[in-house]
Chains A and B, each alone.
Chain A
Amino acid sequence: MSFADFEKNFQDKVDAEIKIEPRDWMPEAYRKTLVRQISQHAHSEIVGMLPEGNWITRAPSLRRKAILLAKVQDEAGHGLYLYSAAETLGVSREQMINDLHSGKAKYSSIFNYPTLTWADMGAIGWLVDGAAILNQVMLCRTSYGPYARAMVRICKEESFHQRQGFEILLTLSRGTDAQKAMCQDAINRWWWPSLMMFGPRDTESTNSDQSMKWKIKRKSNDELRQEFVDMCVQQVKVLGMTLPDPALRWNEARGHYDFGEIDWAEFWNVVKGNGPCNKQRLDARRKAWEEGEWVRKAAEAHANKRRTKAA
């Protein structure tokens, strides 16, 4: 078979909704795109533990503490599912971790914003996990088998994340004036960065067309963002709060809510590393890695010792 035949064969499979598995032939660009996207996704789960981990010791009750701890632990699990999926494409875990720590690999910019109050735990669960879920539900049907399977597992766990967040906000929204203000303030701060999670506008998004053709993605950034806005406009009413966008209004003709323009200068600035917490997040990951060095060495020595004893 010629290269063109392989490529056609591959695209025919994708078009016929046949999943691509690790040992199947795939175009190098497909493999590279997946490695970049899956590892970036894995890094986001891992770095994403930091803003919430910040509040575990300060959760207002034992119930909340246990829940937050379980959520953060889930995110660690999500990172592991995804690293494993990326490894099936021939990249090592060590390489991925190094790329994160050197700043070569990216992770979702949302985690470069600080968590200032307890209400932020609610806003993150509702908005940040909520936005992530829309993307992840779509990815359950992605064309690469191991990625799709990891996503199915992740989606099963995510809905609790969003619900616990909404419950935090709901409780605050029924509290004192100060608690209500805290709730609204968190929504105000997290709303726009959450909209940015879906990435650049379709007209600016360079890899989108190819990813759609390969069925890595099935919905565009703007489609997912619109779904998210339509959903949140309804949900925020239950909280008796508002979304910080004066341009939000129902558009009868489109059958969707119109919304204001995202501050794209801020978006690109945070992507480039200049967000409020970029440095802090990477420093924390590097520190954790370095301080875990002795544990990794000890476990290895222990395993070796047992192996020689058994032999």
Chain B
Amino acid sequence: MKESKHDWPLWEIFIRSRQGLDHKHVGSLHAADAQMAIENARDVYTRRMEGVSIWAVESKNIHASKASEADSLYDPANDKIYRHPTFYDLPDEVNHM
């Protein structure tokens, strides 16, 4: 992302839609500071009661894995099918397992 000299910092917005659920990424917006980011997020992302809680994280603080490294990054999990319950073949008489 090209840094613009005049734009306010970019913030990523996360919203908890209902108590008991995770905060979920909904998009981003510009704001001068965290408080403004939360107020703008309220106006932009919760006009219809979509949330009960807002997180604002400045975009520059988010570190992401590289798509180009996905193969090697997830490789260790690739051959461990025994981590899934369907790997185990049990007699039909075994219930509730």
Interface of A toward B, CB cutoff 8 Å: 21, 23-25, 70, 73-74, 77, 80-81, 84-85, 87-88, 90-95, 149-150, 153, 157, 296, 299-300, 302-303, 306-307
Contact = CB atoms under 8 A, between A and B. Distances in A.
Given A84-B27, A92-B2, A93-B4, A307 B67 contact: no
Interface of B: 1-8, 10, 26-30, 32-33, 36, 43-44, 47-48, 64, 66-68
Contact of B4 (A80, A95, A153): A95
Task: Tell which of B36, B44, B48, B64 has the most Cβ of chain A within 10 Å.
Answer: B44
B33 A307 contact: yes
A23 B33 contact: no
B97 to A, nearest CB: 35
Task: Tell which of B5, B8, B33, B66 has the most Cβ of chain A within 10 Å.
Answer: B33
22 contacts: A21-B67, A23-B64, A23-B66, A25-B68, A70-B47, A74-B47, A77-B43, A80-B44, A84-B27, A84-B28, A85-B27, A88-B1, A90-B1, A92-B3, A92-B4, A94-B4, A94-B6, A95-B4, A299-B32, A299-B33, A300-B8, A303-B33
B32 A23 contact: no
B1 A87 contact: yes
Majority secondary structure of chain A interface residues (helix, strand, loop or mixed)? helix
B8 A90 contact: no
The 3 A-B pairs of least Cβ separation, nearest first, read: A92-B4, A303-B33, A303-B32
A153 B4 CA distance: 27
Contacts of A24: 67
B78 to A, nearest CB: 18
Contacts of B66: 23
Contacts of B27: 81, 84-85, 149-150, 153
Contacts of B30: 93
Contacts of A80: 29, 44
A21 B64 CA distance: 12
A50 B5 CA distance: 28
A126 to B, nearest CB: 22
Majority secondary structure of chain B interface residues (helix, strand, loop or mixed)? loop
Contact of A302 (B26, B32, B68): B32
Given A80-B44, A87-B1, A94 B32 contact: no
A80 to B, nearest CB: 5
A169 B27 CA distance: 35
Contacts of A84: 27-29
A112 B49 CA distance: 33
Contacts of B1: 87-88, 90, 92
Given A74-B47, A81-B27, A302-B32, A92 B7 contact: yes
Contacts of A302: 32-33
A306 B33 contact: yes
A274 B71 CA distance: 53
Given A299-B8, A302-B32, 9 more contacts: A24-B67, A73-B43, A73-B47, A74-B47, A93-B7, A93-B30, A94-B4, A157-B47, A302-B33
Nearest to A93: B7
A87 B28 contact: yes
B86 to A, nearest CB: 25
Contacts of B6: 94
A296 B8 contact: yes
